[in-house]
Structure 1
Amino acid sequence: MKEKRGQLIVVGIGPGAMDKMTFEAYRAMEECDVIAGYHVYVDLVRDSFPDKKFVTTTMRRETERCVQALEEAASGQKVAFICSGDAGVYGLAGLIWEVAQDYPDVEIDVIPGVTAALSGAA
């Protein structure tokens, strides 16, 4: 079996505050080489990870964002692809899996996050 070259971790960062993020999500960003995502979400975490490479796109560039993140991972980088809330609920986990079919050497993992709607009740 061929060994995977890079890793992309889809990370749900929760409702937007660092203290509402799961420990697993924080650790994934801490251990990665690259943080990729929508520029607004990346700006929420940028100051906490100043030594990381950041890859961002604007709204309505979701497929391009996924391709850029997968390209980084395919080059051997460990990439945290961040989404607000939970990446599977109105996030891009599904699109990453679709686009990743063109990147069979990239290992994909998903870390769940706290859905913003659920955090509101607290």
Structure 2
Amino acid sequence: MRTSSDEAVQGYNHKKNSKQRQKNYNSTRKGWVAAVGIGPGGGKSLSLEAYETIKEATVVIGYKTYLNLISELTEGKEIYFSSMKQEVERCKEALKLANQNKKVAIVSSGDPGVYGMAGVLLELRENLDLEVRIIPGITSATGTAASLGAPLMHDFAVISLSDLLTPWEKIERRIEGAASSDFVIVLYNPKSSNRVKHIEKAQTIISKYRSHDTPVGIVTNNYRNEEKITISTLGKFVDEEIDMRTTVIIGNSKSYVKFSQIITPRGYTL
């Protein structure tokens, strides 16, 4: 009879073998596609694995703004860029080129598995006999948190205010649930030129459960040369300059500001 420890050892070996198989997958083929997270600002926020993957690629695909952040890595490569809202088209192009035995990196800001290209790429892959890699990156939540101090030391929820792909009514329920449960709340895509009221609606919902003095951190252009960091309060933060390049972190009932940094206590006895 196999014991639980045997199962654990076998599971460990299975993980190692799976990783080895992934490394050698399609070893007779030269083409592959990788969804690469370049972090919030490219450059210094780029992981070594992301750097090496982009350098190895012969084709790089992405939103033009993101490609500009890594321009020093793309010289001499085939470049395909497109505008926002063309994520599906970019992934289709990446898979097509990889199927032609090209090494393709399709880049996302932050992490490709957090509101990025990884999911679309895997959904579209279908039965293509291709190696598909997912290369993680620093997502805006953690990059923004680092710029603000330590606001994510306890449980937190990440919510996008964009209703392009998710009904606003569902987003409202998620905000309500996170606010009523005292999660620190990270807001992605808080405001755009065509969507200016959602952030105010979010403020109204959260204010039912938290003091107007709750600290709120606002970071625009995180990890980029023009980064702007603002610390405000729940009662006033919507008056600050906020756009699609901004990430907002709203503290929980225990969060506070010290030395111009937001701290959410983990609960240690100090």
- The normalised TM-score by structure 2 is 0.43
Provide the residue aligned with 2:87 in structure 1: 62
Unaligned runs of 5+ in 2: 1-25, 147-270
Q: Which amino acid aligns with 1:72?
A: L
1:15 to 2:40 alignment: yes
Pick the aligned partner of 1:44 from 69, 73, 77: 69
The answer to whether the 8 A contact 2:64-2:83 is kept is yes
Q: C-alpha separation between the residues in 1 aligned to 2:58 and 2:133?
A: 15
Q: Is the 8 A contact 1:83 1:92 kept in 2?
A: yes
1:4 Cα shift? 4.6
Task: Provide the residue aligned with 1:72 in structure 2.
Answer: 97
Q: 8 Å contact 2:54–2:73 — kept in the other structure?
A: no
Q: Which has the higher contact order (CA 8 A, sep 6+)?
A: 1
* C-alpha contact (below 8 Å) 1:6/1:105 kept by paired residues: no
Whole-angstrom CA distance in 1 between matches of 2:59 and 2:122: 19
Q: 1:110 aligns with which of 116, 131, 134?
A: 134
Q: 1:5 Cα shift?
A: 5.4
TM-score normalised by length of structure 1? 0.91
CA RMSD of aligned residues (A): 1.8
**CA distance in 2: counterparts of 1:17 and 1:40, whole angstroms:** 11
Letter of the 2:125 counterpart: A
Does the CA-based 8 Å contact 1:5-1:74 persist in structure 2?
Answer: no
Q: In the aligned structure 1, how far is the partner of 2:135 from the partner of 2:95?
A: 16
Q: How far 1:105 moved relative to its partner?
A: 2.2
Separation (CA, whole Å) in 1 of partners of 2:135 and 2:105: 10
Identity %: 39
Aligned to 1:121: 145
Structure with greater helix percent: 1
Pair member with larger Rg: 2
Deviation digits for residues 26-52 of structure 1 (CA, Å, limit 9, x no counterpart):
110001101111121112112332111
3-state SS of 1:120 partner? helix
Structure 2 partner of 1:27: 52
Q: Which residue of the partner structure matches residue 244 of structure 2?
A: none
Instruction: Tell me if 1:100 matches 2:125.
Output: yes
Contact 1:55 / 1:69 at 8 angstroms: preserved in 2?
Answer: no
Amino acid at match of 1:10: A
Per-residue Cα deviation, 1:89-114 (whole angstroms, up to 9, x for no partner): 01010000011115x12210101000
